[in-house]
Each structure stands twice: as structure tokens, then as C-alpha cells.
A and B are shown apart, each in its own frame.
Chain A
């Protein structure tokens, strides 16, 4: 049965007509879109100074540096920085991914200049006070201790290490206890000096502000930022596909539930078959109540509260994962069910109806995912990060519709091999 395509209010989608994009002479790219429906504003952005710069013996350096930025910057100490933000109900935070140091914040529109001022201080002139660095280190180490007891986190870390062996994608951005311990204040200062700079930086602002105001305010605090020492990211090693199934279990005492991650490499974001793989992933483990995997593992077998799939696509590669939380006694049964669904998924094409359902979902959910300032800012940041083009969301429905069941099968077979999977569990 052919069903009608959902109707979309096209004028609500971000596009070249309402996104302003400016490149400053020092290399910062600004993207902004106004929304006067609510009195708030969101900023989002990154610098190309992620964990791929981390030396192996100091994994977590980029993340540590990012979190240390707000511990003191410019003329302000830690309490003064947070006092200025929290007093007006604003929030700002930094983190790190493999490629980037990331930041995000929000405030009432009237407080955008204040928030940008703090952002610029933190990026340009962090002071890394020694006592604050030690305090932060204790927090990071506690985070790692909690992570070491978390079944989902541990399954995910061991999965990444197995699938991306020898590549920065295989390392956790927050490092390990033994690599965070030896990081010194000098390491943070040097990392900031050599890796942070305006070149390649992207800032997105969405909310109750005009583009002119945004550009003027950013230029005021970051327009004259220069760093001749800023280094470009190194070339990364090639990623080799799995040659056989890897089965590992992380034993964690005292747990009631095991977490499972099963999967392998997936497409990078700009791969031509990304969208076909993504729609296939929706059929496999997302659409409705977690797709085919949810249907089999949760609805039919009652084995898990959650069992779903995700496709994570980055610059150089990606991962295609099934995750589930199951009773320890049911772990092998869940693995078998998931493997047999993957086998079916690469053996025969999804049905035309399944594909149409997911296509309709992808198109219909666009306005919902883009209703808040944070949703729009995240979407615009992705346009820039993956060079998708400002008209990406306008062309998106047509591109989604063009994907065929054959293309989905081809993508499935290209990436997934039921005999070459990383199967990781954590728990008892």
C-alpha cells in the first residue's frame, strides 16, 4: 500500500535564506540564525584541538585541557567566571571529542555579550591555576572510577578499542586513570598554546538576536585572536576492518544486568552510502519501538528493557552498533537473537514498506527535531562540520526518498558481516 508523504512546512527548516555564514580573516567561521519566539539564545561550536592530539601515555589531555579552561581565565578566577554566568541563569561548558574541543552554552538573549566574553577569555587566556587543576584531576579520576563500574560505559569502551584498534577513535576521550595521573599543568599550558587557535574554529549562535549583533559581538572578543603556533591535526592511521569475530566480556561484580554492544565499522559521515545505511539502521533497530531488534529482543522475547541500534558517523569512519541491557542469564540468548537479525539484514532486502516507513519518519520528524534553539544550533553545526551545504535540510526529503531497498542492502552488506563482529558484554 502506497502511503502519502507527510506534509512539511518547508519555511520552518533552516537553509541558506535564513542562516548567515561568515568567515573571519583569522579563520573563525560564524553561523547564525535568528529566532525571536523565545527570549533565549544558544551557542555551540568547536576548535580542531581534540583528543587525536593526545600522546598515548597521556590520553585524556585534550579533555582535561577543555575542562580546565573555566577554572580561571583572563582576569577572572573560577568563582568569578561561574558567578557571572550563574547570576544571570546562563550556562557554558567545554568538552572534547576525537577531532574537536567542543563548547556549548545558553542564556537569555540580553546576556549573549556576557556569555561570549567568558567564552573568549576561556579560549584565549586560560590561567590553569594549580590548585584548581588538582581539584579537577580528583573529579576526573572519580569520573573514571565510576565509569569503571558502569556496565554500559565499559562495554562501549572495549567495543571502540576492538573496532578502532590503533586509531584515536578507539581511545576514550577522558583517558584512563594511569594516563590522567601523569598529566601536568605544563602539559595543559602547552596543549593550549600549540593546539588552540582561531584557524578552523566554528561558532554557531541561534536565538533572539540578529545576525549583525552576533557577528559584531563575536568580532569584538575573538576577531583579533591569532596564534601563529597553532598546529594542524596530524594525519591519522588507516582503519582496518575486523577479520573475525571478537568476543570479550568485562567482569563487574555485584551487577544485576549485563550491557551488550555488538557491531562493527560503519560509514563515515560523507560516505555516499551514509543515508542508505542510516535508513537501514532505522529499520534494523530504531523505527517504532526500536525496529526489528526491539521487536525480537524486547517485544517477542521479553529479554531486555532496551535493545536498539545506532549508526555513529564521523569524519574518517564510523561504527554500527547494537546495544542492549539484559539479565546475565539471558546474555547468550540475546546475542544469538541479535546475530540472527543481522544475518537476515544482510541476506535479504528490507521490505518496501519498511523502507517507506523509515523514509516517512526521517522526513516527518525534521520540524520536531528542529523546534528548539539547541536543535537548530546542533543541526547547523553538523552542516559545517561535515560540509553538507547550507541547503542540506531543504534537499534532505528528496535525498531520503531516493534511497532504494537495493541501496540499503548494498550498504548493509558493505559494512556488516555476521561472522566478523565485535561482541562485547560487561557485567557478571
Chain B
């Protein structure tokens, strides 16, 4: 469960927001730097640039040349990684507590001083293209990309984070460097640290290491005025295999909208609870969810899942259904619609909401075992609202009424607000090694 009293928030004079949470259960510190840059901030023709910049940020600085930090962090037994998403890019190091200075120094350094050589850019171009090619091997990536493109007309959320193949071939070294320099600045960042430290001492260190970095004029994201969806859209993708997938993507509320919490209950009822933890915990099965019972138990599908994500602007609530080999996606869609109509016709029982709350409480408890995950939350929630969103999460969920769920089902789950996607398999060739 979130513990409100243990967390400390400071903003440095250069605009850097610092979030600290002392946890003394293990000699570990997890340090994250979050930037407000991701696919939401990308211009047409430059899709995938935020993710590629994230890759380039591992290519070294004059002070920490390429490969040095990999070795230094691994030597300490730590691990580091980075992620690029719709609204944000984040870098983290989880280290034995005594070695955390290495993480602070190197992150502050690469906020400004990364080297983007032409050779490294070209080598990384093939790595990123290879990453995309690996994704393209998956039917659900190909379907998902087509659906995302159909779900938004103007908003950059319509693009895959990794970018289009054309853009990955066209983006230049200067594009990358410019994107980096435009968005990486203390006033566009959040530093989040959880673990085995004393707050006062850590604040002094952070002031010394991050305090001297100059703020910058950060560009605003491009065209974000997205019309309300007006008509159902359909996309179809075909490819090898024997398995048919049906996906539905409904426009969902942004995380800071009041309806997000009623939608969270809807998600839990329809397809089982979505865990928002990035590390640790795992999920809860969804075999008693309404769609599992309506589709899998009736042998229309062999699997069903749902995903509601916390985003800055309204994104999508996705359902992914693996169609039973003896069924068609059209029949499955009718059964889904019947279940959605049930939610739109009568309020759910209060105990169904109570169940969703207990599930959320359990998921938070599982996530709290892990210091990296706790540091993750300190910064993540700031990317779409504020850390108070996380602290108040359980309370907000508890305030959801059956009437709220009914209203949100009636408004948000209209067919006009969705994209229906089908992956149609063209059959399998018998492998013959």
C-alpha cells in the first residue's frame, strides 16, 4: 500500500523535481530520471526518434565513455535500463546503496553531455531496425500498429513508439542530437529515488550533482487536438499462422480524469485487473472476469485480456481475444457486445466493486516488495499527473459507485468510440527443418 508519510518532494531552482522515499529493508537504492518526452512529442517523419535517442544515451560522454558504465554498474552488482513510452522516457539504476553515487553522477552527466558520433548512430540504426523486425515477427504487434493508427487521427499516440520503418531509415544524426538537446533538461525531468539512504544527506548530494545544470526552453508537443471518435473503425491484418485474434480499442479517459477510476473498475470486471507495476508482483488471473466467462467458458475464445494504461492524454483501453479455432471473430464480437450491453443496462453490484478494490490492494502489496518498483512509482505518476495520484489511488477507487460504472460503460464503451481489429491467419506452412 502507498505510505504517504515516507515520501519527500523538493524542486531545485533549475526546475528539477526530486522525489525521495526512504526504505531501509535492504541495502539497495533505485534511482530514476524521467523526461517528459516520448512518442507524444514526435513530429510526422520523425516517429521513433525518442526511443532511438534513448538508445544513443548509452553511447557515452567524454567523462563516461561508451561501455564504461555498463562495466562499472555490473561490477557493483547493479542493473540499469531505460524505457521509452507514449508520454515519457526514463532511465534507472538499481544499485547496492554504497555505490549509488555512480548512478547520480552518470545520469546528471548524460542529461547534457552525450556524444552522438555518426558511426554510433549508423550502428544503432541497424540495432533499432532489428528491434523493430523482432516486433514484426509477432502478429499482435502488426495488428496493434494498424489499430493504433486507426484509433487517432491527429494525436501522435497514433504512432508506434519504435517508429515506422521509413522514419528509422530516414532519421539523421542531427535529428537525434537535436531531439536530445531539446528535451533533456532539468526543468523537463523528475529524479525519483527510493531505498536505503537518509533524505537530508541525499538532498545535499542531489543539489551538488544536479543543482548546477541549466534549465532550457523545452518545446511543446505537436498538434494534440484530437477529435472525439465519431464512428467505429475496422482494420484487418493478415499473415502466417493458424490463430485468429480479435482486438478492440476504445478511447479511454486520461489518468487524471475522474472517470479513469470508474474505468479501472470496468476493466477489472470485464477482463480482470491490470497491474500498473512495472517491476515485481506479477498479475492476477482473470478466469472469473465477465469476458472470460462469456467467451472462453463458452468456447468462443481460448484467451482474453485487457489493458488500461495511465496516460497524460486519453489513450485506448484494449481488449485482446484469441479466437477459438472453431469460431469466427464476428461471432466473438457479438458475444463481447452482449457483455458490454449488460454493463450498460444495469448497475454492477457493490460487492463487484469491493472485489476490484481488494485486487488493487493486493497488486500494490506485491509491487511494494520491490524497491525498484517503488522508485518507479515516484516518477511514473508524475508523468501523467502527480505522485498524489498514486497515494490517493485506493481512496479514489473506493469512491467509485455502481452508478459511475454504469455511466462510464454507457458513454465510453459506445461502438463509435472503438476500433475493431482482426488478425486473419493465412495458414501455417509445415516447418521442415
Contacts and interface: CB of A to CB of B under 8 A. Distances in A.
A255 B282 contact: no
A53 B114 CA distance: 56
- Which interface residue of B77, B98, B281 has the most chain A CB atoms within 10 A? B77
Given A135-B299, A302-B122, A37 B79 contact: no
Interface in A246-267: 248-257
- A contacts with B: majority SS: mixed
B410 interface: no
A281 interface: no
Contacts of A149: 139, 240-243, 428
A221 interface: no
Nearest to B361: A89
A87 B288 CA distance: 9
A251 B284 contact: no
Interface stretch (A14-22, A137-145, A235-243, A405-413): A137-145
Contacts of A374: 280, 282, 369
A12 B272 contact: no
A352 interface: no
A363 B324 CA distance: 48
B26 A249 contact: no
B77 A86 contact: no
B303 to A, nearest CB: 7
Contacts of A79: 287-288, 293, 297
Given A93-B285, A256-B137, A288-B67, A12 B26 contact: yes
Interface string B270-307: 00110000001111111110000100110100110000
A251 B362 contact: no
B74 A357 contact: yes
Interface stretch (A2-10, A44-52, A187-195, A309-317): A2-10
Contacts of B303: 139, 142
Contact of A371 (B273, B370, B429): B370
Contacts of B334: none
Contact of B137 (A107, A135, A255, A295): A255
A360 B77 CA distance: 7
Nearest to B367: A38
B285 A82 contact: yes
B71 interface: yes
Interface string A136-174: 001101100110111100100010000000000000000
A150 B241 CA distance: 10
Nearest to B355: A87
Interface stretch (B4-12, B124-132, B175-183, B312-320): B124-132
Interface in A28-53: 37-40
Interface string A356-368: 0100111111111
Interface residues of B, number: 80
A106 B360 CA distance: 14
B192 to A, nearest CB: 17
Interface in A393-428: 424, 426-427
Interface residues of A, number: 81
A366 B369 CA distance: 16
A364 B366 contact: no
B358 interface: yes
A85 B124 CA distance: 46
Nearest to B195: A371
A392 interface: no
A194 B53 CA distance: 58
A299 B284 contact: no
B299 A253 contact: no
Interface of B: 1, 25-28, 58, 66-67, 70-71, 74-79, 94, 96, 98-99, 122-134, 136-137, 139, 239-243, 272-273, 280-288, 293, 296-297, 299, 302-303, 322, 324-326, 355, 358-363, 365-366, 368-371, 428-429, 431-433
Interface of A: 3, 6-9, 12, 37-40, 78-79, 82-83, 85-91, 93, 106-108, 135, 138-139, 141-142, 145-146, 148-151, 154, 158, 248-257, 287-289, 295, 298-306, 325-327, 357, 360-368, 371-374, 424, 426-427
15 contacts: A8-B96, A40-B369, A86-B286, A87-B358, A90-B362, A106-B282, A135-B299, A146-B243, A252-B429, A256-B134, A287-B74, A303-B130, A362-B77, A364-B99, A424-B433
